[in-house]
Amino acid sequence: MTYCVGLKLNDGLVFMSDTRTNAGLDNFSVTKKMFTWSVPGERAITIMTAGNLATTQALVSVLEERSKAPSDRNPTILEQPTMFQVARLVGSTLKEVIAESGGDGQDASSAFRASVILGGQIKGGAPTLFLIYPEGNFIEVTDDAPFFQIGETKYGKPILVRAYDPDMSFDDAIRLLLVSFDSTIKANLSVGLPIDFHTYKLDSFEASEQSRIEVDDPYFLSISEGWGEALRAALGHLPRFRSK
Amino acid sequence: MTYCVGLKLNDGLVFMSDTRTNAGLDNFSVTKKMFTWSVPGERAITIMTAGNLATTQALVSVLEERSKAPSDRNPTILEQPTMFQVARLVGSTLKEVIAESGGDGQDASSAFRASVILGGQIKGGAPTLFLIYPEGNFIEVTDDAPFFQIGETKYGKPILVRAYDPDMSFDDAIRLLLVSFDSTIKANLSVGLPIDFHTYKLDSFEASEQSRIEVDDPYFLSISEGWGEALRAALGHLPRFRSK
């Protein structure tokens, strides 16, 4: 599967994705699922993908116009006037790619399906996130639903629902997301380290560098090991049940 | 859906189940999913069910021999010499019931499927738990995998994995399970209060009374409200992430 989360904070956006891809349990490898485009001072756009790897790679290739000679490429994603228009472009491209593989987006076998989290900011607009479905349609983040997950979303959701706060700092958000990823990785073999992440600072119109947390990252290990202890302590602070 | 958990502790067994059943989002009601049989001093057996309600009700009715006149009933579940034999009986009965509704257990449309957690103790044996599949086969609890979940298992699993301890008391286990249920109820509309639970004390050979936690139960509300705060505090105790 995959696990990706896009989070909207008052300070900007946070993106995190795992890197495991697999075809069966006996064939897995590491692949990047996070892609960023930017025009410094004008726009920064990130997408994260979940689903069929051929579909998601084709999506990114088409968005980057890799069918043209390198000198002729001028990705249309960099020419859309608003994030809403970028979402429409990514959605229609995704639907087309799925249709080429095996029928129409809506009817295509689940084998070719994929979904996307898109986020970023274009000068004149606010930073925002979209969740784009294989059918090409999409929903936008709101204050009531301030984050999107794709892939194996269930194990890591309760901690996000409980601990998310729009005022949190990027560093606190990354710590929260790593706990959410750790719970997911512990429960689903198709989600695995390394973990990629990056942050987009409000009104910076610049893509920060993407960072990668490797399998043996000492900070991640300290989170993973510390969380069991922290959870048991948290449980211990809840009122005790008294059986009658 | 449904959410049921059976937990094996050194002190005995704990069973907890939600009570929501639904056919579509616009048709839901409360139904019991936990059933207990006992011969005091000799055996106590509990099952919890998830899946098609007609299937699970038929299963319980057959196990209770409700096809016979009340005076002739002598549930065979009370005559099996071991828990393993009880599991075989429940498994084969489940498979038969599904087959009657629509084909063989293995091939039956998912519409008629159901699964079961069975637990208890029969004199001469240890207390144990089984997870019984719609195909009629089953797995038994081990020290490495000391609990079973059926229904919507994902949201509530991380806390169980992290905080379960075979030495915990019944009261602590119920508090832990309520947190797991609360996370699930918050995320899936097909799981809902009231919650039924009961405990089986090692070598008691007696079924304790089942208890029900109602929608407005003040203890459950204190857990549900306190858990968000407790989680945020637990996160705050983890080492901070420092972006480079």
Q: State pLDDT tens for residues A158-195.
A: 999 999 999 999 999 999 999 999 999 999 999 999 99
Contacts of B168 in chain A (CB under 8 A): none
Q: Is residue B175 part of a domain?
A: yes
Q: CB B228 to CB A162 under 8 A?
A: yes
Q: Which residues of A touch B239 (CB under 8 A)?
A: 219, 222-223, 226
* CATH code of the domain containing B135: 3.60.20.10
Does A184 reside within a domain? yes
Q: Burial-class residue A143 by CB neighbours within 10 Å (0-12, 13-18, 19+).
A: exposed
**pLDDT band at B4; cut points 50, 70, 90:** very high
| Closest chain A residue to the Cα of B219, Cα to Cα | A241
| Contact present, A54 and A23 (Cβ < 8 Å) | no
For residue A194, whether the previous peptide bond is cis, meaning omega lies within 30 degrees of 0, is yes
Does any domain span residue B242? Answer: no
If we measure between CA atoms, which residue out of B85, B86, B109, B87 comes closest to residue B98? B109
Is B243 part of any domain? no
Minimum-distance CB partner of B230 among A170, A223, A234: A234
Four-residue CA torsion sign, A53, A55, A59, A61: positive
Q: A88-101: per-residue pLDDT in tens?
A: 999 999 999 999 98
Residue B209, in any domain of the structure: yes
Q: Which of B175, B235, B244 lies at the smallest CB-CB distance from A163?
A: B235
Contact state of B163 with A231 under an 8 Å Cβ cutoff:
yes
Please judge whether A230 and B230 are an interchain contact, meaning their C-beta atoms are less than 8 angstroms apart.
no
Q: Please answer yes or no on whether B174 and A226 come within 8 Å at the CB atom.
A: no
- Judged by phi (left if over 0) then psi (alpha if -120 to 50, else beta), residue A124 lies in left
CB contact under 8 A, A154 and B158: no
C-alpha distances (whole Å) from A182 to each of A174, A179, A220 are: 12, 5, 8
pLDDT at A107: 57
Nearest partner of A137 among A86, A87, A103, A98, judged by Cα:
A87
Say if strands A128-132 and A3-9 run parallel, antiparallel, or are unpaired: unpaired
Number of domains in chain B: 1
The whole-angstrom separation of Cα B199 and Cα B13 is: 6
**Does residue B158 fall inside a structural domain?**
yes
Is the pLDDT assigned to residue B72 strictly greater than 90?
Answer: no
Q: Is residue B244 part of a domain?
A: no
Residue of B156, B199, B227 lying closest to A238 (CB–CB): B227
A197: closest chain B residue by CA? B243
Per-residue model confidence (pLDDT) at position A109: 61
Render pLDDT for B167-190 as a digit per residue (tens, 0 to 9).
999 999 999 999 999 999 999 999
Q: Does B71 touch chain A (CB under 8 A)?
A: no
Which residues form the domain of B134?
3-237
* pLDDT at A108 > cutoff 60: no
**Chain B contact for A14, CB < 8 A?**
no
The pair of three-digit structure tokens given for residue B154, joined into one six-digit string: 């994902």
pLDDT digits (tens, 9 = 90+) for B25-42: 999 999 999 999 999 999
Inside any domain, residue A198: yes
B74-112 tens-digit pLDDT = 888 999 999 999 999 999 999 999 999 876 555 556 789
pLDDT of A73 reads 83
Residues B234, A234: C-beta atoms closer than 8 Å: yes
